[in-house]
Structure 1
Amino acid sequence: MNPPVDTSSFQLAGVPDPEEDARLAVREEEARAYVGSFAWSKPIREVLLAFGMSGILSLFLFRFEEPIRWEGEEDIELWVIVGDLPPAYFATDDSPNPGEALETYCVFMEDWASRILNGEDLTGAYPIAAAPTEEHARMLKSRLEYIRQEIIPIVGIEGSDDNQRN
């Protein structure tokens, strides 16, 4: 099992805008429902807002009461992303901070979109609950470009002292 993600740089309490806080609370409920829809889901110990812009995306760290076991692995924490893009969850192994979690999300989604645009098979791609159309792939690529250019630089990525594991 991985060491816990350091949450010291997380947004946690939202923003000082009551309307945005309310929208982020809705995003949290969306993320809880998404995670709860899977058979592997365990009781949730806590959900922490790592980064949120409610109209675009919200990144949460889910911590579970007991480990989730799959394919020889075990995870007590998962990243969950919801928003105006396909929702996703993934382990914290290779994404120990919010910036790296956002980049991991982009890599998974980029693979799906590229396969669609190149006419390739989706076997092995991250499963996305959207029709595999060129229109959806282009829309997703546009959102990923925005995340990489505008959001990840704000959040930070590897090498930043306040974004490292304990």
Structure 2
Amino acid sequence: MTTSLDDASPDLNSVKPLAPDDRRWSVEFRDARRRARRYLESHNWVSAIKGEYLGYRLDGVIYVFLFEFLPAEPDVPSWTWVIIGDVPSAYISCHHAKTPYVALDGYIGAMEEWVEAAREGNSVEDIIPVNVPATPAYAEMLASRLKFIDEQILPLLPH
């Protein structure tokens, strides 16, 4: 199945638009937002961020942001989710995730693949990048966080 860039638009009814430097949010939230922006901007396929949205937050644990950006390369969709918090940062394509629920569910699944490979001592080269060594110890730490998110947070999101 071929997808077009038009297929990559998220459901904007499932997110809250964020104003630039809104001081109503907690310091912790504003820090997470800055880290999410820096993470996204670290990718060479992003030219500039155009819009920011909040899909979900549990301060200190996890944040699901949606970004609209100007692509720096052709055939790059202009929307992506960024998951950040007390978990490895990652982006999730809007091609596969139109809502925060689907983005977070996809994040959990991708990170569980990494956990399984790290537990078994297999290569993680072709799996979602995680910025720690792929050891059983790190796999167990991540697995416990993913279990909490899957059981306690994911059910709170509308789907």
How many residues matched?
Answer: 151
Q: Matched residues, percent identical?
A: 27
1:7/1:50 contact within 8 Å kept: no
| Alpha-carbon separation, structure 2, partners of 1:36 and 1:74 | 14
Alpha-carbon displacement from aligned partner over 1:111-132 (angstroms, at most 9, x marks no partner): 0010011121213111111111
Query: What is the aligned partner in structure 2 of residue 54 from structure 1?
Result: 59
Query: What is the aligned partner in structure 1 of residue 82 from structure 2?
Result: 80
TM-score by length of 1: 0.82
Amino acid of the structure 2 residue aligned with 1:41: V
2:23 pairs with 1:21:
no
**Uncovered stretches (5+) of structure 1, i.e. residues with no partner:** 158-166
1:102 to 91, 101, 104: 104
Amino acid of the structure 2 residue aligned with 1:148: D
| Alpha-carbon separation, structure 2, partners of 1:28 and 1:105 | 18
Amino acid of the structure 2 residue aligned with 1:52: R
CA RMSD of aligned residues (A): 2.1
TM-superposed CA distance for 1:10, in Å, is 2.1
The ranges of structure 1 where at least 4 consecutive aligned residues each deviate by more than 3 angstroms after the TM superposition are: 66-69
TM-superposed CA distance for 1:11, in Å, is 4.5
Query: What is the aligned partner in structure 2 of residue 156 from structure 1?
Result: 158
1:63 to 68, 78, 86: 68
Please state whether the residue corresponding to 1:75 is helix, strand or coil. coil
**Uncovered stretches (5+) of structure 2, i.e. residues with no partner:** none
TM-score by length of 2: 0.86
Higher RCO structure, 1 or 2 (CA under 8 Å, sep 6+): 1
TM-superposed CA distance for 1:48, in Å, is 0.8
Amino acid of the structure 1 residue aligned with 2:139: A
Amino acid of the structure 2 residue aligned with 1:99: Y
2:8/2:79 contact within 8 Å kept: no
2:40 to 35, 38, 41: 35
TM-superposed CA distance for 1:78, in Å, is 0.5
| Alpha-carbon separation, structure 1, partners of 2:63 and 2:26 | 12
Query: What is the aligned partner in structure 1 of residue 145 from structure 2?
Result: 143
